[in-house]
Amino acid sequence: MIIKKITDLTKKEKNIIFNRNKMNFKNIFPTVREILDNVKNNGDSALREYTKKFDKVDIDDFKVHKEEIEQAYNKIDYKIIEAIEKAHNNIKSFHEIQLKNLKEWEVDNNGIKKGQIIRPIEKAGCYVPGGRAFYPSTVLMTVVPAKVAGVEKVVVVSPPNGTEGNPATLVASDIAKADEIYKIGGAQAIGALAYGTKTIPKVDIIVGPGNIFVTAAKMMVYGNNVAIDFPAGPSEVLIICDETANEEYIAMDFLAQAEHDPNSSCIITTTSKEKAEFIRNKVMNLLNNNVKRKEIINQSLKNSAILYGELEECIKLSNEYAPEHLEIITENPRGVLKDIKNAGSIFLGNYAPVPVGDYASGTNHVLPTSGCAKMYSGLSVDTFIKKPTVQELTREGLKSISDIVITLAEAEGLYNHAEAVRKRLI
Active site residues: 324-325
Give the bridge partners for 113, in sequence order.
108, 392
- Closest by CA to 268, choosing from 198, 329, 341, is 329
Question: Is 229 a residue that touches a copy of itself (CB under 8 A)?
Answer: no
Question: Is 108 a residue that touches a copy of itself (CB under 8 A)?
Answer: no
Residues sharing a CB contact under 8 Å with residue 222, sequence separation 6 or more, in sequence order: 228
Q: For the window 143-182, what string marks contact with a copy of itself as x by the rule CB under 8 A?
A: -------------------------x--------------
Answer for which of 59, 148, 205, 267 binds a copy of itself (CB under 8 A) is 205
Question: Is 370 a residue that touches a copy of itself (CB under 8 A)?
Answer: yes
Question: Is 57 a residue that touches a copy of itself (CB under 8 A)?
Answer: no
Question: Is 75 a residue that touches a copy of itself (CB under 8 A)?
Answer: no
- Closest by CA to 266, choosing from 246, 280, 277, 278, is 280
Question: Is 347 a residue that touches a copy of itself (CB under 8 A)?
Answer: yes
Question: Is 26 a residue that touches a copy of itself (CB under 8 A)?
Answer: no
Question: Is 11 a residue that touches a copy of itself (CB under 8 A)?
Answer: no
Answer for which of 186, 231, 234, 309 binds a copy of itself (CB under 8 A) is 231
Question: Is 284 a residue that touches a copy of itself (CB under 8 A)?
Answer: no
DSSP letter (8 states) at residue 104: -
Judged by CB under 8 A, the chain residues 120 through 139 that form the site for a copy of itself are 121-122, 133-137
- The footprint of a copy of itself on this chain (CB under 8 A) covers a number of residues equal to 127
Compute the least distance from the CB of residue 277 to a copy of itself, in Å. Answer: 20
Give the bridge partners for 107, in sequence order.
114
Minimum CB distance to a copy of itself smaller for 63 or for 340: 340
Judged by CB under 8 A, the chain residues 27 through 56 that form the site for a copy of itself are none
Length of the chain: 426
Q: What is the DSSP string of 42-61?
A: HHHHHHHHHIIIII----S-
Q: For the window 237-276, what string marks contact with a copy of itself as x by the rule CB under 8 A?
A: -----------xx--xx-xx-xxx----------------
Minimum CB distance to a copy of itself smaller for 284 or for 408: 408
Answer for which of 27, 56, 67, 107 binds a copy of itself (CB under 8 A) is 107
Minimum CB distance to a copy of itself smaller for 174 or for 382: 382
Question: Is 304 a residue that touches a copy of itself (CB under 8 A)?
Answer: no
Rounded CA separation 298/226 (Å): 39
- Closest by CA to 150, choosing from 189, 194, 228, 98, is 98
Contact 229, 205 (CB under 8 A): yes
Contact 361, 94 (CB under 8 A): yes
- Closest by CA to 321, choosing from 368, 288, 366, is 368
First vs last C-alpha separation in the chain: 75
Compute the least distance from the CB of residue 382 to a copy of itself, in Å. Answer: 7
- Closest by CA to 104, choosing from 93, 118, 114, is 118
Minimum CB distance to a copy of itself smaller for 53 or for 341: 341
Q: Per residue in 263-284, is it b (16+ CB within 10 Å) or e — as a string?
A: bbbbbbbbbeeebbebbbebbe
Rounded CA separation 161/404 (Å): 63
Answer for which of 50, 62, 94, 195 binds a copy of itself (CB under 8 A) is 94
Compute the least distance from the CB of residue 281 to a copy of itself, in Å. Answer: 16
Question: Is 392 a residue that touches a copy of itself (CB under 8 A)?
Answer: yes
Q: Which stretch binds a copy of itself (CB under 8 A): 10-18, 57-65, 98-106, 303-311?
A: 98-106
Q: Which stretch binds a copy of itself (CB under 8 A): 44-52, 54-62, 191-199, 363-371?
A: 363-371
Residue 340 identity (one-letter amino acid) = I
Minimum CB distance to a copy of itself smaller for 114 or for 280: 114
417 CB-contact burial (10 Å; exposed 0-12 / middle 13-18 / buried 19+): middle
Question: Is 23 a residue that touches a copy of itself (CB under 8 A)?
Answer: yes
Q: Which stretch binds a copy of itself (CB under 8 A): 181-189, 190-198, 215-223, 270-278?
A: 215-223
Phi, psi at 287, each rounded to 5°: -70, -30
